[in-house]
């Protein structure tokens, strides 16, 4: 709730599938008004219709988080629909990697644009047009990073570099905004069963000349709990960080990874 007792307003990027969709359902399920964006207008419209049919106060718009102009339109649309933002979840992103010596310029730049530069662009717009750091608003910024941003992912140099950048940005901004009451944290999933995870396993299978099932078995063997996390488990931590109870948690990068990461 806002200070005046009205429901909070959340913006979730990449909110039509995987972790973003789970976060949207979780936040809206406890009464927040949630605005989502994704690159495909049809996916946004279908997701919004489905969630509104479930009684959730969700709206959205097509938006490309790599584009300053597109980000501006999305945040403006969110404010016009629901009012100033109180929660921002920077979730949109992509996988990407391969043998580093063979990575094309275009792949490197797109991973950095999608995963890191987007977090800056959306956050800046949320703090200005979105009004997230206005006086008296104990806002929440939660960035979806990765354990790969802490300990590196073999054949994933662009992805690991981008997520490490997200963690550094999170900690710097948290200290900058601390006096305002706005908290900034990163949630770091390990292996999570999402559509992106399927694409990652396919890429490793092609690189290693093996099967997707073999890759899945190898990955599960690395995880102390022996399984992938679920999007709902990640969303649970994101949701907690958006509550009043989490008001003293800031500048942290918290893992949801089945024990895969140890720092």
Say whether pLDDT at 21 is over 60: yes
Whether residue 252 is predicted with pLDDT greater than 90 in this model: the reply is: yes
- Section 38-58 average pLDDT: 98
- Domain ranges, residue 162: 9-190+230-256
Name the pLDDT band for 244 (thresholds 50, 70, 90): very high
pTM of the predicted structure, to 2 decimals: 0.93
**Residue linked to tokens 């649970």:** 236
The answer to whether position 236 is within a domain reads yes
Indicate whether 16 and 46 sit together in one domain: yes
What band does 5 get if pLDDT is binned at 50, 70 and 90? low
- Same domain as 203, residue 134: no
CA distance 175 to 184: 8
Same domain, residue pair 168 and 237: yes
pLDDT band for position 207 (cuts 50, 70, 90): confident
pLDDT at 218: 87
Q: For the chain, what percent of residues have pLDDT higher than 90? A: 85
Whether 68 and 78 share a structural domain: yes
> How would residue 135 be classed by pLDDT, with cut points 50, 70 and 90?
low
Does 152 lie in the same domain as 91? Answer: yes
Same domain, 165 and 44: yes
> How many domains, the chain?
2
Mean pLDDT along residues 72-97: 97
User: Are residues 209 and 86 both part of a single domain?
Assistant: no
**Are 105 and 120 in a shared domain?**
yes
Do 206 and 139 sit in the same domain of this protein? no
Q: Which residue numbers are catalytic?
A: 159
The DSSP secondary structure of the chain, one letter per residue, reads --TTSPPPEEEEETTTSHHHHHHHHHHHHTT-EEEEEES-HHHHHHHHHHHHHTT--EEEEE--TT-HHHHHHHHHHHHHHH-S-SEEEE---------GGG--HHHHHHHHIIIIIHHHHHHHHHHTTT-TT-TT---EEEEE--THHHH--TT-HHHHHHHHHHHHHHHHHHHHHGGGT-EEEEEEE-SB-SHHHHHHHHHHHHHHTS-HHHHHHHHHHHSTTSSPBPHHHHHHHHHHHTSGGGTT--S-EEEESTTS---
170 band by pLDDT with thresholds 50, 70 and 90: very high
pLDDT grade, residue 136 (50/70/90)? Answer: low
Question: Does pLDDT of 3 surpass 80?
Answer: no
- Mean pLDDT across 36-56: 98
Rounded Cα–Cα distance for residues 96 and 106 (Å): 11
The answer to whether residue 82 sits within a structural domain is yes
Residues 87 and 216 in one domain: no
Cβ neighbours of residue 79 closer than 8 Å, sequence gap 6 or more: 85, 129, 130, 131
For residue 92, pLDDT over 70 is answered with: yes
**Residue 142 is encoded by which pair of tokens?**
């939660």
What tens digit of pLDDT does each residue of 222-241 get?
Answer: 999 999 999 999 999 999 99
Percent over 70 (pLDDT), the chain: 97
Assess if residue 126 is contained within a domain. yes
At 200, is the pLDDT very low, low, confident or very high (cuts 50, 70, 90)? confident
Is residue 212 located within the same domain as residue 174? no
């Amino acid at each position: 709730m806002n200070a005046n007792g009205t429901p909070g307003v959340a913006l979730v990027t990449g909110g039509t599938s995987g972790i973003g969709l789970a976060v949207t359902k979780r936040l809206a399920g406890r009464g927040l008004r949630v605005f989502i964006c994704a690159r495909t207008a049809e996916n946004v419209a279908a997701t919004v219709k489905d969630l509104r049919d479930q009684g959730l106060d969700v709206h959205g718009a097509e938006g490309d988080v790599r584009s300053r102009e597109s980000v501006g339109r999305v945040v403006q649309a969110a404010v016009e629909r629901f009012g100033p933002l109180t929660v921002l979840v920077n979730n949109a992103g992509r996988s990407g990697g391969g043998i580093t010596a063979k990575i094309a310029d275009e792949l490197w730049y797109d991973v950095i644009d999608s995963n890191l530069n987007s977090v800056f662009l959306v956050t800046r717009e949320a703090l200005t047009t979105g009004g997230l750091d206005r006086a008296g608003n104990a806002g929440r910024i939660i960035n979806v990073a990765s354990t790969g941003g802490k300990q590196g992912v073999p054949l994933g140099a662009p992805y690991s570099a981008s997520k490490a950048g997200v963690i550094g940005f999170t900690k710097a901004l948290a200290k900058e905004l601390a006096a305002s009451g706005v908290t900034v944290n990163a949630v770091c999933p390990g292996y999570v069963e999402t559509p992106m995870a399927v694409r990652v396993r396919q890429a490793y299978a092609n690189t290693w000349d093996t099967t997707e099932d073999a890759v899945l078995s190898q990955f599960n063997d690395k995880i102390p709990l022996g399984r992938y996390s679920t999007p709902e488990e990640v969303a649970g931590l994101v949701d907690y960080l958006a509550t009043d109870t989490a008001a003293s948690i800031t500048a942290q990068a918290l893992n949801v990874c089945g024990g895969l990461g140890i720092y």
